[in-house]
Structure 1
Amino acid sequence: MPGRTPEGDALTNLVMPVFELAAALDNAASSITEGSQITPALWQVLGLLIDEPLTVAVIARRLGRARQSVQRLANVAVETGIAEWRENPEHKRSQLLALTSHGYAELASLRPRQHQWANEVAAKLGDQDLLHLSQLVKELTEAIRDEAD
């Protein structure tokens, strides 16, 4: 069995810090959504709907979650009036989940806290480093997804 390349070592050394980053982001999301009817998990789902309605399957794929867990969150969003089901012209049996005006308002209510948090954290790193990191994360995500296919 061959050993890892220097690139493989570098990627392996990145895994634990990324897991820690994910946990830190979850904690921040919990703080930002505290007192809201939107949970951090629901916030992730709703965030994908801001620009367009999506199917549960697409949301699950983008978030790397089980379809059933996203379905449960979608059902909660619909039951609370934050989202609604819409007909999908491309697939009759797979409805689209879309934000309602109430859903947009709920997300907007989180905006001041999210902005304050983002500004405070980002000030410690700077926009150029964060933009570069964002691009690298996108490229790494694509590479991992390509390898999985």
Structure 2
Amino acid sequence: MTDTDRPLAPDDLAYRLAEVFDLVGPLYRRAQRKVEQDAPAQGLSVGVRAVLNLLRAHGPMTVPQMGRTQALSRQFVQRMVNDAAAQHLVEIVPNPAHKRSSLIRLSHEGEDAIDALIAAEHAVLRQAGGDLTEADITACVRVLTRLLELVDHVDVN
């Protein structure tokens, strides 16, 4: 086992993970800005896109479920659902499991819109090229997943 294959000591790990956070923040903000700049062409705000993507991945959900999944307030998610509904991208249907919390599902227009947006994003991401490997991406996803788990479960008090 080489030095780069050994688990890091806690202090070294903290330093390296801080480097990841220092990159993830600007990456997220720049990507969000790019989506907002392209929104007129796509007709989707970042928030509506998030709702459509969530429904595409998980199927019909309630607003509270979407909020919990994305760590967003129910009120914000409701506004995004309302915007999506006004554009006929989602449908609000009865929830057999809960009379007061309707299910939100993609409409055919919503499916077409999110599929087109994802295809456009994939066209851009294909340009990353370079020397990235499956192992690189797997490691990146593993690290980011671990950080999400940490943030969700750590007590800062």
TM-score range, shorter chain: 0.7 to 0.9
How far apart are the structure 2 equivalents of 1:125 and 1:44?
30
Provide the alpha-carbon RMSD of the alignment.
2.3
- SS for the counterpart of 2:44 is coil
| 1:88 CA drift (Å) | 1.7
Greater than 4 Å deviation, 4+ residue runs: none
Stretches of structure 2 that go unaligned for 5 or more consecutive residues are: 1-9
| 1:35 CA drift (Å) | 1.1
2:26 is equivalent to residue 20 of structure 1: yes
- SS for the counterpart of 1:54 is coil
How far apart are the structure 1 equivalents of 2:140 and 2:37?
24
| Percent pairwise identity | 23
- SS for the counterpart of 2:104 is strand
Could you tell me which amino acid in structure 1 is paired with residue 45 of structure 2? T
Who is 1:107 aligned against? Answer: 114
8 Å CA contact retained: 1:53, 1:97: yes
How far apart are the structure 1 equivalents of 2:139 and 2:40?
30
TM-score by length of 2: 0.79
Who is 1:131 aligned against? Answer: 138
Who is 1:67 aligned against? Answer: 74
The correspondence for 2:11, drawn from 2, 5, 9, is 5
Q: Which moved more, 1:76-85 or 1:10-19?
A: 10-19
TM-score by length of 1: 0.83
Q: Which moved more, 1:26-35 or 1:53-62?
A: 26-35
Who is 1:81 aligned against? Answer: 88
Stretches of structure 1 that go unaligned for 5 or more consecutive residues are: none
Report which of the two structures shows the higher radius of gyration computed on alpha carbons. 2
Could you tell me which amino acid in structure 1 is paired with residue 30 of structure 2? A
